[in-house]
Amino acid sequence: MLVVRNIGQLVLPRFDAETGRPRVETIDRAAVLIDGGRIAEFGPAESVDVPADADELDAGGGCVTPGLIDCHTHTVFAGTREHEFVRRIEGQSYAEIAEEGGGIRVTVEAVRRASVDELVGLALPRLQRMLGNGVTTVEIKSGYGLTVDDEIKMLRAVARLRSLQPIELIGTCLAAHTVPPEFADRRGAYLDMICDDAFLRRMANERLAEFCDVFCERTAFSVDESRRVLLAARRHGLTPKIHADQITQMGASRLAAEVGAVTADHLETIDADGIAAMRRAGTIAVLLPGCSFFLGVHQAPARAILDAGVPVAVATDYNPGSSMVESLPLVMSIACTQMRMTPNEVMVAVTVNAAAAVHRRETAGAIDADRAADLVILDVPDYARWMYEPGRNCVRTVIKGGRVVHRRQD
Ligand code: NIG
Ligand code: FE
């Protein structure tokens, strides 16, 4: 048994699905007792019954939160795209660069050249740094292979990474990221290939992916094409997700509601109809403030989405093109200052609601009796202070499944 004692503030994020309101309960001067990797007891220190032989971990009066969940990432990739970063600073837009054959396709070429081992070698240190930022669960999308074999190769890299580091990894098939150049004049044939039963069956049966995502955008796939991909995936037990309303308003968030997508992600250009459709369908909005920060464009209307009672999650969108931002705590700060989300809304968005976004509501994102003990110990006394200090790592210790998996060197 392990007891985490001397906790200055224990953070218990909650989301009330009926009212659509996030809220954070806190317990001051708390303790958490862990047994067999699970939370056995938690509460005010004096109320927790600690066996005499329990090991002790002193939280130093710091704040303790659930392990963070990064529910939208493209962490497996090869190559970098700083030349596009410079072109954007000089005035070109993300869409213009994509239209000129840059963007996603540049990373596709690098990923196609890489072996599974190389992809694993590149992603492993990224995941180790994410762990050091307090992240204990990460969703990772394919989408830079764009052939049957290369998409499977990316998700095999995710599978291999599971056994090499402690973060729980969740795979998403994003074969509908863009039409690869060799199919430029045969879009239909590319769609036939990624909607093919044998391909989708492998994704589901080999547990390579639990979700299927599409980039519904003028430079990628139309609403009708996206619908076709998501309905085919759904028949094979893959849950739909959509990159929706990022640059062009095409009704993608309404499509998310229509096909029963668990999330609609991005939403920088969502309109009132899209927000209402998501609220009715219970679709989770995954907001990606690091992406707009990185591209230097306007943020999603977080306040309108929150105030409508739509559940909101926040993630990094970590990828080499539109969000070379691997730090979820930095993105949490950006959500506060650039989207006017309150620290308690953000705390819920990266725990409880992020867990729901990847179908882990019952197992991750909360501190509850009998749940796996995924905890972050901070060197600050409360969680608002974490977001108040962007760019400084406030994470001292990370616990995954009851085991200390990261200790900051200082
Ligand atoms: O989530 N929007 C589409 N996909 C990624 C960007 C991918 C890339 O540019 O490499 C995103 O922003
Ligand atoms: Fe993305």
CA distance 81 to 46: 53
Span from the CA of 175 to the centroid of ligand 2 (angstroms): 12
Q: In percent, how much of the chain has pLDDT > 70?
A: 100
- The answer, yes or no, to whether residue 17 has pLDDT greater than 90, is no
pLDDT for 120 equals 98
Closest CA to 365 of 134, 27, 69, 38: 69
CA distance 17 to 209: 27
Closest CA to 210 of 281, 267, 137: 137
- The answer, yes or no, to whether residue 216 has pLDDT greater than 90, is yes
DSSP state of 50: -
> What is the average pLDDT across 147-168?
98
CATH 3.20.20.140 applies to domain 68-357: yes
- The answer, yes or no, to whether residue 29 has pLDDT greater than 90, is yes
Closest CA to 211 of 238, 175, 180: 238
pLDDT tens-digit map of 290-336: 999 999 999 999 999 999 999 999 999 999 999 999 999 999 999 99
Domain with CATH 2.30.40.10 in the chain: 2-66+367-407
Model confidence, pTM: 0.98
Domain with CATH 3.20.20.140 in the chain: 68-357
Span from the CA of 385 to the centroid of ligand 2 (angstroms): 28
From 219, 319, 323, 331, the mutation candidate for ligand 1 (largest count of ligand atoms within 8 A of CB) is: 319
Query: Which is the closest atom of ligand 1 to the Cα of 321?
Result: 9
Higher-pLDDT residue of 125, 410: 125
Find out whether 141 and 105 touch, Cβ atoms under 8 Å.
no
Beta-carbon neighbours within 5 Å of ion ligand 2 = 317
Span from the CA of 160 to the centroid of ligand 1 (angstroms): 23
CA distance 202 to 404: 35
CATH 2.30.40.10 applies to domain 2-66+367-407: yes
pLDDT band at 246, cuts 50/70/90?
very high
45, burial (CB in 10 Å: exposed 0-12, middle 13-18, buried 19+) = middle
Closest CA to 73 of 126, 147, 150: 126
From 73, 177, 179, the mutation candidate for ligand 1 (largest count of ligand atoms within 8 A of CB) is: 177
Span from the CA of 157 to the centroid of ligand 2 (angstroms): 18
CA-closest residue to ligand 1 atom 6: 322
Find out whether 6 and 57 touch, Cβ atoms under 8 Å.
no
CA-closest residue to ligand 1 atom 3: 215
Query: Which is the closest atom of ligand 1 to the Cα of 77?
Result: 10
Q: What lines the ligand 1 site, CB under 6 Å?
A: 103-104, 107, 215, 243, 246, 291, 317, 319-323
Span from the CA of 5 to the centroid of ligand 2 (angstroms): 38
Please provide the size of the chain in residues: 410
pLDDT tens-digit map of 336-381: 999 999 999 999 999 999 999 999 999 999 999 999 999 999 999 9
CA-closest residue to ligand 1 atom 9: 321
pLDDT for 410 equals 84
Find out whether 364 and 372 touch, Cβ atoms under 8 Å.
yes
Mapped onto helix, strand or coil, the DSSP state of residue 362 is: coil
pLDDT tens-digit map of 42-74: 999 999 999 999 999 999 999 999 999 999 999
Give the CA distances from residue 391 to residues 176, 325, 364, in Å, rounded to whole numbers and listed in that order. Answer: 34, 11, 25
Find out whether 70 and 354 touch, Cβ atoms under 8 Å.
yes
Where is 284: in which H helix or E strand?
strand 284-287
pLDDT band at 101, cuts 50/70/90?
confident
Find out whether 235 and 204 touch, Cβ atoms under 8 Å.
no
> What is the average pLDDT across 8-16?
97
